[in-house]
Structure 1
Amino acid sequence: MASYSCKYLPLFGSCLSWRKEDWTNSDDTVRGGTSYSKLLVSSEYNSVTFAGKLDCKLLGAAFASQRTTSTTQKWDLCEYDGIKITLRAGDGKMYTLNIKTDIPPHTPDGRDQSSLQYSFDFIADDSKEEQVIYALFERFIPSYRGRKQEGAPPLNRANIRRWSIMIRSFFGKQEGDFCLVLDNLSAFEKRKSNQDRPCGLCLLQ
């Protein structure tokens, strides 16, 4: 097994404060659905709770999400290998971390148009213990409206413009109430190490 130490860059949470105004909901109500989500910020723990309800009754499929609001901020993560997702609590459901490299234009009624995004699915265990998930950029799947896009360009890590945390029904495989408590998101860079792992660093294969 190869041994690596990790360099981290906090993106949300950790030494940075979560700010509710940096996020907004983007749920299936834009397509006539009734699913909804909210983001609750805890200043005590510097964490956020992503919660709400998936309802598949009207559309047969459902989604709910919270996305970043900035139209000017850009993240250059060329030096990093992926995203470390640290969870405080989960509910056993599957969630998705999405990345976009552009800001989609608005439709005539003011909504965002659909556009290509890069998605990483993960299970949030329903244990009450902290969970750490390492999402390598190479494992983010290009998708459009939830469907994989063959032949899409690779993720441009130098021009990340938008983040979102999403839950989907996966065509009826999951629905109902959901609740995910997220401590932080950080970019990580793997570095080969011949030494024992120092405190706070991860080992990856």
Structure 2
Amino acid sequence: MEIKRLWETINYFEIFPWLNCLTNIFNLSEKSNTKPNVPMNLILIIPSQSNLAQQTINYLREINLNFTTINNIEKIEISDLERVTNIICFSENNNQSLFDLINNNLKPEETLLFDFHNPSQEIKNLWGAVDDVVMGGVSQSSVKMGDRNIIFTGMVSTANNGGFASVRTKNFSQPWDLSNYQGIRLKVRGDGKRYKFISRCEGKWDGLSYCYSFDTDGNDNIIEIKFNDLIPVFRAKTVPEADKFDSSQMYSMQLMLSKFEYDGSYNPTFEAGNFALEIESITAYGAENVPQIILMGNSNQWENINLHSSFLRTYAEMPEDLNL
């Protein structure tokens, strides 16, 4: 049974890519495990029929930047603006409905990374269990779909020298650049236990990780984790000589319940047995000048717009003038 769980973990996270290739060739799994495409730093274009709009789109393709287009402003929803760092508008459009949506809903200092209010199968395909079975233990965990949240839950055991359970994302297809932000905000409801948030700024499976421990009290908790407070750790031992977390290269996220804190010390609230941590959302917070609203064309064409002063507003007459 434990060998089967170990194999599932190795296969799910593509720890040994050549094993995953063999699995797919011989149809040993139900589906191929591809890296999730969760883009960050998107550029949103509200296109028009003008030559300037087409030149701008061609320019972004040439310099290989991620962008998406939305043709009908009236059908834009707030979810379309998640992870968007630049919004490019053209004066030929009626942009005020877009600006009203931005003014009334967007908070320029934060970006919603994971919204678990409407859990989907995509979430389960992205987050998988990494328990102490990888080192001979018997703890087990999973991500369950809750009512407007997800639940990291399971059973942690110290048998066979084990003592941790966790859920982790697969590596993002491209690492996230969160260098404009100060840190990560978790909205959770815990069970009185002390958990860890873990991230990585390299794509290795068993490389250096960056950790932050946080307590829960059975109520709704907002946990703010500054990037500068993340502790470099390798296999539960701190690495003081390591560099600070590089927030421009976030490869993955992980939540863990562990018997150990760091360097052999124990988690002060640890108890073996069942546990449950409800997660409502994960947000990057503390940004400056995000999103940037770029108004294409002569600035005189934009004199009468109603756009809140908290959003960075810039002008560009030609695509080459874009500061992205």
> Which residue of structure 2 lines up, in the alignment, with residue 165 of structure 1?
255
Letter in 1 for 2:246: N
> Which residue of structure 2 lines up, in the alignment, with residue 91 of structure 1?
191
Higher relative contact order (CA 8 A, sep 6+): 1
Deviation at 1:118, TM superposition (A): 0.5
> Which residue of structure 1 lines up, in the alignment, with residue 200 of structure 2?
100
Contact 2:119–2:145, Cα closer than 8 Å, also in 1: no
Does residue 185 of the first structure (1) align with residue 285 of the second (2)?
no
Mark the CA change 1:27 to 1:13 in structure 2 (over 3 Å): closer, same or farther: same
**1:1-27: CA deviation from partner (whole Å, max 9, x where unpaired):** xxxx97111111167855111111111
Does residue 48 of the first structure (1) align with residue 145 of the second (2)?
no
Q: Say which structure is richer in helix.
A: 2
**1:5-64: CA deviation from partner (whole Å, max 9, x where unpaired):** 97111111167855111111111001000111110023x41x1100011111220x5111
Deviation at 1:133, TM superposition (A): 1.2
- Normalising by structure 2, what TM-score? 0.50
Does residue 117 of the first structure (1) align with residue 217 of the second (2)?
no
- The CA distance in 2 between the partners of 1:69 and 1:146, in whole Å, is 20
Moved more, 173-182 or 152-161: 173-182
Structure 1: which 4+ aligned runs deviate by more than 2 Å? 14-18
Letter in 1 for 2:280: D
Kindly name which structure, 1 or 2, has the bigger radius of gyration based on alpha carbons: 2
Does residue 31 of the first structure (1) align with residue 135 of the second (2)?
yes
Mark the CA change 1:15 to 1:183 in structure 2 (over 3 Å): closer, same or farther: closer
**1:124-169: CA deviation from partner (whole Å, max 9, x where unpaired):** 1123xx2111111111100011111111011111110111111101
Letter in 2 for 1:37: S
**1:175-205: CA deviation from partner (whole Å, max 9, x where unpaired):** 22111000010000167xxxxxxxxxxxxxx
Q: Say which structure is richer in strand.
A: 1
- Normalising by structure 1, what TM-score? 0.78
**1:68-121: CA deviation from partner (whole Å, max 9, x where unpaired):** 12452321100000111101x2110000110111121xxxxxxx4x21001011
Contact 1:91–1:178, Cα closer than 8 Å, also in 2: yes
Letter in 1 for 2:282: L
* Aligned counterpart in structure 2 of residue 69 of structure 1, from 159, 170, 188: 170
> Which residue of structure 1 lines up, in the alignment, with residue 87 of structure 2?
none
Unaligned runs of 5+ in 2: 1-106, 261-265, 289-324
Mark the CA change 1:65 to 1:14 in structure 2 (over 3 Å): closer, same or farther: closer
- The CA distance in 2 between the partners of 1:97 and 1:168, in whole Å, is 11
Contact 2:180–2:287, Cα closer than 8 Å, also in 1: no
Cα RMSD of the aligned pairs, angstroms, is 2.1
| Identical amino acids, percent of aligned pairs | 27
Mark the CA change 1:102 to 1:182 in structure 2 (over 3 Å): closer, same or farther: same
> Which residue of structure 2 lines up, in the alignment, with residue 154 of structure 1?
244
Contact 2:110–2:287, Cα closer than 8 Å, also in 1: no
Unaligned runs of 5+ in 1: 105-111, 192-205
